[in-house]
């Protein structure tokens, strides 16, 4: 089985590019951020204290992740239910911090991701997919972009989803997320030594996919 990993900060364009790449290669697309988001939503709905690590780990252990839809555009389901856009609200986005920082919880989620990848060719995106989840991946990318570009992309996505946007707040939130993603003890956001670094600030998603395909074809 082949694995292509794409890691990088929020708003770098990972999801758009990973989906297009999965479609192009007929691989399965796995959005690892969606799994942390889905667990956050489940914990919030259950009214759990987000500082109670033991309960959050127990929650992760009793959760079944599954996917509906097509391989290149799967929709995550949590305990059999479609969570859809509910995992993309600002509340869930901000609370994911509490979930993603717990090493024992990450171990449960990483194992689920590895199982999914063992069964199929996969394009997987997140923060630690090339460093922790699939350190032996065939091709690894680290997708980055300047903060300004990332904030504007996120603003566009939110506007399209019908949400109100304050660009200054959004920029601050992204900076905070970058900081917590880069400084957590386990699964921190960092480029794997053997990952190919791509700055997408001045690239369209199509151009970024082209660049990636060139590397993949030469692999
Ligand atoms: O990629 P996305 O913005 O949807 O991820 C949501 C949050 O999940 C991130 O801010 C990050 O803290 C966390 N995450 C993670 N490890 C991953 C993917 C996402 O900790 N592999």
Domains of the chain by residue range:
3-213
Q: Which of 70, 30, 143, 53 is nearest to 107 (CA)?
A: 53
Beta bridge partners of 78: 65, 81
- Ligand 1 pocket residue status of 100, Cβ below 6 Å: yes
Mean pLDDT of 10-27: 95
The yes-or-no verdict on residue 7 having pLDDT over 90 is: yes
Among 96, 99, 142, 184, which residue has the most ligand 1 atoms within 8 Å of its CB, making it the best to mutate? 96
**CB distance 98 to 53 below 8 Å:** no
Ligand 1, atom 10, lies closest to the CA of: 177
pLDDT, residue 82, reads 87
What is the third-level CATH fold of 3-213? Rossmann fold (3.40.50)
Mean pLDDT of 22-31: 95
Residues 105-159 have pLDDT tens digits of 999 999 999 999 998 999 999 999 999 999 999 999 999 999 999 999 999 988 9
pLDDT, residue 128, reads 98
pLDDT band at 201 (very low <50, low <70, confident <90, very high): very high
Least confident range from 69-83, 138-152, 195-209: namely 69-83
Whole-number Å distance between alpha carbons of 194 and 200 = 19
Give the contacts of 12 (CB within 8 A, at least 6 positions apart).
143, 144, 145, 150, 200
Ligand 1 atom nearest 97 alpha carbon: 12
Whole-number Å distance between alpha carbons of 77 and 67 = 5
Mean pLDDT of 59-72: 90
């Amino acid at each position: 089985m082949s694995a292509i990993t794409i890691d990088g900060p929020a708003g770098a364009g990972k999801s758009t590019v990973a989906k297009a790449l999965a479609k192009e290669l007929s691989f399965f697309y796995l959005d690892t951020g969606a799994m942390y988001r889905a667990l956050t939503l489940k914990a919030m709905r259950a009214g759990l204290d987000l500082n109670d690590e033991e309960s959050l780990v127990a929650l992760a252990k009793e959760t079944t992740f599954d996917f509906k839809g097509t391989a290149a555009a799967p929709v995550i389901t949590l305990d059999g239910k479609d969570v859809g856009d509910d995992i993309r609200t600002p509340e869930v986005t901000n609370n994911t911090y509490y979930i993603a920082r717990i090493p024992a919880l990450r171990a449960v989620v990483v194992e689920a991701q590895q199982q999914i990848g063992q069964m199929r060719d996969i394009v997987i995106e997140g923060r630690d997919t090339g460093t922790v989840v699939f350190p032996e991946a065939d091709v690894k990318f680290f997708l980055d972009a300047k903060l300004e570009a990332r904030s504007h992309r996120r603003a566009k996505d939110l506007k399209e989803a019908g949400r109100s946007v304050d660009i200054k707040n959004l920029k601050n939130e992204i900076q905070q997320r970058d900081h917590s993603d880069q400084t957590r003890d386990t699964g921190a956001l960092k480029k794997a030594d053997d990952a190919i670094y791509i700055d997408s600030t001045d690239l369209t998603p199509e151009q970024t996919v082209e660049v990636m395909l060139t590397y993949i074809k030469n692999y």
